[in-house]
Structure 1
Amino acid sequence: MFLQLRRRLAAGLPRNTGRDLRFWTRAIYITLPLLLVFNYLIIFHWSYFDSFYHRVFPDHTFHPAPVPPLAHTHESHDAPELDYWTWNTTTRFESPRLNLTSANTPCAVFPRYLLKKIQVVLKVGAADHWSRTDAQLSSVIKCISNVLVASDRLHTYGPKLEAHDVLAPLPPESYMHEDDYAVYASQKNASVKDLRQGHEGWKIDKYKFLPQVEQAVQANADAEWFVFLESDTYIFWDNVFRLLENYDHTHPYYFGSPSPGRVYPDTDGQKNWFAYGGAGFVLSNAAAHRLVDRKRNSLGLKGPRVTDEYREDVLHDCCGDSVLGYALHDKAGVDISGLWPMFNPHPLAGVPFGKWYWCEPVISLHKTAPEDFLKLWQWENKRDRRTGPLLYRDLATYHHLDTFTQRQNWDAADFDGFTEPDNSPAHTSLAACSAACTANAACFQYTWHGQHCYMARSMRLGHSKAPDGVHDEVDRAYVSGWDVVKIERWRREHMCAEGPHWVKPSVKRIF
C-alpha cells in the first residue's frame, strides 16, 4: 500500500520532487532499523555507552589532578616525636538529665545537628539474619536520622527504613560474574525466610563498595564526611565526632584500619593499602568527590563512572574494600590514613588489651555479636562523656577481666599466645599451668588443653570452645584462667595520665 501511494504521488509530482521522495524513503528504510537497534542498546546495554569515553581514552584523561601534601600524611609517624596526638577534645553529646523522663533517652542527648555534616552509610545484605538488623536498629544507627542503607536488593530494613539496591544501576546482569549474578537474581523473588537460611549473598558483597560511595555522594553531596560501616560493625559515635573535628574535610582523607592489597603495576613490589571494611572507614568530602565525580576533558567529554572504570578490578579481586582502596589511589590520588588500632578489626571479645589497645580511643569493633550491640550501647550511654573519649582502658572494664578466675570450655590464649618448652613443669597439670603463668611476667592469662599449657601476652575475654582432640576425656576440655593480680597492676601502672593517644596516620603501624 505504501509503495502504491508512493508511485501515485511520484507520478503527479515534478521529476525532481519524485527523486527527492525516493531519497527520503531510502533514508527512512536505512535509519529506522538503526534507530531501533541503537534504542535497544541504550536501554539494555547502557554500561557500554557509559564507559565509551574510557574506551576511547584509556589513560588517566579523566582523573583529577594530583593532590598537594596533606597536613596529616599517612607517614606522619616517621617524625621523631610521639606517634600520637593528645588532643583536648570535647563531646558533642548533651549531658543526661537527672530526671528519668522520655527526654533523657540516648537519642535525646545525641548531637543530631552533626548529621548535616556527616552522611552515614550502612552496608547490609538482603540475606542478613534478623538478629543483625535488630541489633543495629536498637543501638548504633538508632539515632542516625539520615542513614543510607546500601544493600543488594530493595527491601525494608526494620519497620521504617528502606534498604536501597545499590547494584541495580550497574547493571548487574552485565557487570557481575555469571555465577554471582545468579545469586543476585535468585534474591529477587526469594522469601526473607529462604534468604536467611544459608543463602550465598556474601558472594555479591564485593560489588557494593564502589556503588555505595557513588550513591552516598549523590544523596548528600555537601556532607563533610562519609562514614561507612557494616551490619556487624559497632561504632562509638562520640569518638568519631571528636576525631573528625581535628581534620579538614576539604582535604582528601581516607581513614580506617590498613590492610595490604594488590601490588601496584610498574613498581618494585609496592603494595596498595586499603581500609578493612569490617572495621568501618571514613572518606572526607574531597576524597569522595575525587573518586566519583566525572571529570570532563578539554573536548567536554565526561569520564566514565568509577564503577565502570574499575569493573574488571572488581571481577578479579576477592574483596570490594581492596578495590575501593586501589581506586582511591589510582583515580583520586588518595592513600589511606591508617588509624589502627582506633579503627579495630577485632570483635568485642577478641580485643587484646595491652600495649596497643589501652590509651587509644575506640572508634569501632568488628564482628560484634548481635547480643552484644544493645548491652554495649546501654553501657556506653551510662558513661559520663564529659570525662573524655572512651579509651580501650575504659572498654576493658566492660569485661571485668580483673575479676575472673577460671572458665570451663573456654579458650583465652588463641591470640598473642606463646608456650614454654615442652619439658617445662607448666605442662604437667592445670594447677602447674596457672602457677607458671603467675611466675611469667609476660603472661596475663592461660588455657590448659591436651596436657599442654598455652599462655597469652595480652588481656582479652576469649571465647567458648567445646572439648576436642584425641586426648583422654579430662584433657580434651579447654580451661582458661586469668592472672587478676597482674591485670590490676597493669591498670594501676597505665592510667593514661598524659591524655588519649589519638594515633597519627600510618601504614607501618598495622594489625
Structure 2
Amino acid sequence: MFAPPSSRRLRIFGAVTVITLIATYFHLRPQWEFEYRDYYEGVTGYFSRPVYDNTLYNQGNERLVHKQYNTSDPCARFPNTDGVLLVMKTGATEAFDRIPTQLLTTMSCLPQNFLLFSDLEQQLGPYHLYDALSEVDELDKARLSDFNLYRSQQECVVSQKSCIDASAERQNAWNLDKYKFLPMVEQTWRMRPGYDWYIFAEADTYVFWANMMYWLKKQSGLNPREKIYLGSRSFVSNRPFAHGGSGYILSRGALKHLVEKHSNLTSEYTQKGTQECCGDLLVALALDEHEGVKVRQTWPMINGEKPTTLPYGRNHWCEPILTMHHMNAEEISTVWQFEQTRKTDRILLIRDLYESLIAPKMQETREHWDNGSDDVCYINPDPAAQERADGHARDRQRKEEEMSEVEKVAWKSPQNCAKVCESEISPEDADDKEKQRDRNCFQYRWHNEVCCTSKSFKMGEPKPKPEDGSSKAKWTSGWYMKGIQDWIDAMGECTEPAWKIPEL
C-alpha cells in the first residue's frame, strides 16, 4: 500500500529536521564544553546572555578574577541559607539610598529569608519595611526628646527627603536609632520564630554568605539550640557588646529565651536607653542581665572595616571574612561583583580582598590622601607644633630617647617620613624571612609636620586640597611597596583558612 503524497512529505520533512538538529548539536558542542576557569571567556552572545567586561579586571589580578562578568544567573554560586534569617536595620532618612543596592545584590538571592526594619513603616517596591518603634509606649514617644525626629517623620505627608534634611538630622537620627534594637529583636522572634541563626545587620553591612553559611553549618561546631551571641566585641565602660554595624548573630536558643521569658523588654530598656549611648549595647545588657549570655569574640571575621580600610597584615590575612561595615552602595556592588567573578569558589580570605581589589591600585605615594597610618607618630618637637597636632598623634609619639636618627627628622617632610619604613630592616637582613614577617612599618602619612607610620597596610581615602595651598597642610600618604611584598612573600600561601574560634 502506498502512502499518500502528503504523508510522505511529512516524513521527509521530519527526517530533515532531525538531521539538521543533530548537525547543529555537533557544530555547537565544542563551544559548550569548557573548563570552569575559562567560563566567562567561553561565553559568547548565544541566546542573548548578558555578558559584560568585568570592570574589576585589572593588571595585577588577572589570575584571580574573570575578564568578563556574566549576570545571567547571579545566584548560581549562592549557598543554601535554610535555617538562617537576615534582619536588616535602616532609618527612614536613608532607606531609599541604601536598601535598593542590598536588594539588587546579595539579598536578591535570599529566598525571602530576611526582614527589614526602620523607624517608619515604608514600602520599597514589593518589599516592606517594618517600624521597629511601633510598639514603644506612646507616652515614651511623646515625652522623650530623642523621639522628636520620629514624630517629624510620622507627620511628613510627602517624601521623607522633602521633609527631613538627613545631614542636619544626623545626630538626631543617631539618638533615635538606639531605641530600635531591642524592639526589633522582639518583633523578629514573633514574626519569624524557629530559625537556627539570626543575623542582625545594618543597611551598610555586607554579608559574605558563602563563608557565613559554611562557618555556621560546617566549621564552627556551634549548636543553635544553645544560647549563643556572636560578634565583633567592643566596650563601653568595660561592658562588652557586639558592634551592631559589623553585624551580630543570635542563636535560636538565645533569642527564644530572651523574648519568650521577658515580655516587657521594650518598655524596660526604653528608659535605660536615655542613659546609654547605643542600642547594640542595650542588646548586650539584656542578654547578660536576663540570660547570663555574653558576646563571643568573632573578630576579625565579623569586621567593622571595608576593603579600603581593612588593616591588611597580621590578624588580617589568612582569616576568612564574614561581614564588613561602612559600605556605601557602590562598594557593596563592587564586592558583590567580585564574589560573582572570582576564579575559585574556595573560602574567601581577607588576603583575597587585598590581592584582587586593593593591590592593583597601590602605588608608592598619593598626595591629598589619608591612608590611615596612626600606630607610631613623629611630631616637630617645637611646642607650637606639638600643640597643633591632634591628641591621638601626641599619644602615639615615640619617646625621643627611643628614636633612631632617621626617626628624629621624620617630621620634616614626606620624604623623610618615608625613610622610617625603608630603614626598619637593614640591607643585610633583607632575606631574613622571620624579620620580614615581624615587620612593623608598611606605610606612612605626613601632614602639618606630623609623620605617622602603620604596622599594617591599607588604601584609605582622599583628603581635600588645602585652601591656602600650604605644603605643610597637604596630606601625603605613602606605601613601602617593597616591604609589603617582602612580608607577603615571607608569609607564603595560606594553606588553611585561619577560622576564628568564638571566645568569651
Q: TM-score, normalised by structure 2?
A: 0.72
Q: TM-score, normalised by structure 1?
A: 0.71
The one-letter code matched in structure 2 to 1:404 is Q
Q: How does 1:457-496 map to 2 (within 5 A)?
A: 457-468=455-466, 473-496=470-493
Asked if 1:131 is matched to 2:100, the reply is: no
Distance 1:417-1:392 versus aligned 2 partners, 3 A rule: farther
1:504 maps to 501
Aligned with residue 213 of structure 1, among 180, 185, 189: 185
Deviation at 1:177, TM superposition (A): 5.0
Q: In the TM superposition, what whole-angstrom CA distance separates every residue of 1:63-108 from its partner, at most 9, and x where no partner exists? A: xxxxxxxxxxxxxxxxxxxxxxxxxxxxxxxx98974747842224
Question: Take 1:413 and 1:219, find their aligned partners in 2: how far apart are those partners?
Answer: 42
Deviation at 1:384, TM superposition (A): 4.1
Q: How does 1:333-352 map to 2 (within 5 A)?
A: 333-352=292-311
Q: Is the 8 A contact 1:129 1:196 kept in 2?
A: no
Question: Take 1:416 and 1:344, find their aligned partners in 2: how far apart are those partners?
Answer: 19
**Structure 1, gaps ≥5 residues long:** 1-94, 263-270, 295-302
Q: Is the 8 A contact 1:413 1:445 kept in 2?
A: no
1:307 maps to 266
Which has the higher mean CA deviation after the structures are superposed, 196-205 or 117-126? 196-205
Distance 1:148-1:188 versus aligned 2 partners, 3 A rule: same
Q: Is the 8 A contact 1:96 1:109 kept in 2?
A: no
2:414 maps to 430
Question: Take 1:502 and 1:119, find their aligned partners in 2: how far apart are those partners?
Answer: 22
Distance 1:237-1:169 versus aligned 2 partners, 3 A rule: same
Question: Take 2:266 and 2:109, find their aligned partners in 1: how far apart are those partners?
Answer: 31
Which has the higher mean CA deviation after the structures are superposed, 376-385 or 336-345? 376-385
- Which structure is richer in relative contact order (CA contacts within 8 A, separation 6 or more)? 1
Aligned with residue 316 of structure 1, among 275, 278, 297: 275
Q: How many residues are aligned here?
A: 392
Q: How does 1:268-283 map to 2 (within 5 A)?
A: 271-283=238-250
The one-letter code matched in structure 2 to 1:106 is P
Asked if 1:188 is matched to 2:154, the reply is: yes
Which has the higher mean CA deviation after the structures are superposed, 201-210 or 164-173? 164-173
SS in 1 for 2:471: helix
2:446 maps to 448
Distance 1:418-1:238 versus aligned 2 partners, 3 A rule: farther
SS in 1 for 2:478: strand
Q: How does 1:28-427 map to 2 (within 5 A)?
A: 99=43, 101=49, 104-111=72-79, 113-114=80-81, 116-128=82-94, 130-144=96-110, 145-157=112-124, 159-174=125-140, 177-190=143-156, 191-193=159-161, 194-197=163-166, 198-199=168-169, 200-245=172-217, 246=220, 247-261=222-236, 271-294=238-261, 304-387=263-346, 389-397=347-355, 398-400=357-359, 403-419=362-378, 421=400, 424-427=408-411
SS in 2 for 1:106: coil
SS in 2 for 1:475: coil
Larger Rg: 1
SS in 2 for 1:486: helix
Alignment RMSD, CA only?
2.6
Identical aligned residues as a percent: 30
Q: Is the 8 A contact 2:373 2:443 kept in 1?
A: no
The one-letter code matched in structure 2 to 1:494 is M
Deviation at 1:259, TM superposition (A): 1.2
**Structure 2, gaps ≥5 residues long:** 1-37, 51-70, 379-397, 426-439
SS in 2 for 1:202: helix
Q: Is the 8 A contact 2:377 2:450 kept in 1?
A: no
Q: Is the 8 A contact 1:468 1:477 kept in 2?
A: yes
SS in 1 for 2:273: helix
The one-letter code matched in structure 1 to 2:132 is V
Q: Is the 8 A contact 1:126 1:195 kept in 2?
A: no
Which has the higher mean CA deviation after the structures are superposed, 101-110 or 438-447? 101-110
Q: Is the 8 A contact 1:401 1:482 kept in 2?
A: no
Q: Is the 8 A contact 1:348 1:366 kept in 2?
A: no
